[in-house]
């Protein structure tokens, strides 16, 4: 065999090894975030459902209370409500479904599939990862899913000097 043939076979073998590793790692992540039984704590699931029902009703004052204290201490309620109302103009949250979960006793990453209707785009499906944290006995939404239009649903970035 010449050098080219040996190099070619070696490259093909590395490529397939890489491909197999990629498939295995992708399946591992998907399986860990999308547990078939979604063994999500009942209190977290109830809090998630309650929060997104508030969004559906556009009840921004009560939705604000589901954000962590450090968020509420940094963002005045009037600012939050004004931005959520403005950002949500022309949008309706039609439905949401928990499709993935990975968490501990105090933090959770929850993947949610949203179906929204936009005046500009029609009905669209968006899946986003949300972040939840348990403080005391209650779950709070640190990152609720921006879904291309809700800027106040992003996580709070704290600037230190």
**112-161 confidence digits (pLDDT tens):** 999 999 998 899 999 999 999 999 999 999 998 877 666 666 665 444 44
Distance CA 152, CA 150 (A): 6
Same domain, 68 and 89: yes
Three-class secondary structure of residue 142 per DSSP: strand
Distance CA 155, CA 136 (A): 20
Same domain, 47 and 28: no
CB 114 within 8 A of CB 95: yes
Flag the least confident range among 80-84, 99-103, 150-154: 150-154
Same domain, 28 and 92: no
CB 146 within 8 A of CB 112: no
Whether pTM > 0.75 for this model: the answer is no
Same domain, 56 and 21: no
Instruction: Provide the token pair at 68.
Output: 């962590």
DSSP assignments along 55-124, one per residue: HHTT-HHHHHTTS-HHHHHHS-HHHHHHHHHHHTTTEEEEEEEEEEEEE-SSEEEEEEEEEEEETTTEEE
How many Cα atoms occupy the beta-carbon half-sphere of 103 within 13 Å? 23
Question: Based on the structure, what is the number of domains in the chain?
Answer: 2
Same domain, 96 and 51: yes
Same domain, 68 and 119: yes
Q: Is 161 contained in some domain?
A: no
In which domain, by residue range, is 7 found? 1-33
Q: What angle do CA 46, 85, 110 make, to 5 degrees?
A: 30
Place of tokens 């649903």: 153
Q: Is 17 contained in some domain?
A: yes
Kindly state the average pLDDT of the residues 36-45.
82
Residue 98 belongs to a domain with what CATH number? 3.10.450.50
């Amino acid at each position: 065999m010449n050098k080219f043939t040996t190099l070619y076979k070696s490259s093909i073998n590395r490529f397939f090894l890489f491909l197999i590793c990629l498939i295995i790692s992708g399946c591992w992540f998907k399986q860990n975030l999308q547990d078939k039984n979604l063994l999500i704590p009942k209190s977290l699931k109830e809090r998630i459902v309650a929060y997104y029902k508030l969004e559906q009703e556009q009840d921004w004052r009560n939705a604000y209370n589901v954000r962590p204290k450090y968020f509420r201490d940094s963002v005045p309620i009037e600012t939050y409500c004004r931005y959520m109302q403005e950002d949500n103009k022309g949008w309706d949250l039609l439905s949401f479904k928990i499709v993935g979960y990975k968490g501990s006793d105090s933090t959770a990453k929850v993947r949610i599939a949203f179906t929204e209707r936009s005046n500009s785009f029609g009905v669209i499906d968006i899946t986003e990862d949300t972040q939840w944290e348990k403080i005391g006995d209650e779950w709070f939404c640190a990152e609720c899913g921006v879904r291309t239009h809700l800027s106040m649903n992003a996580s709070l970035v704290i600037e230190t000097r």
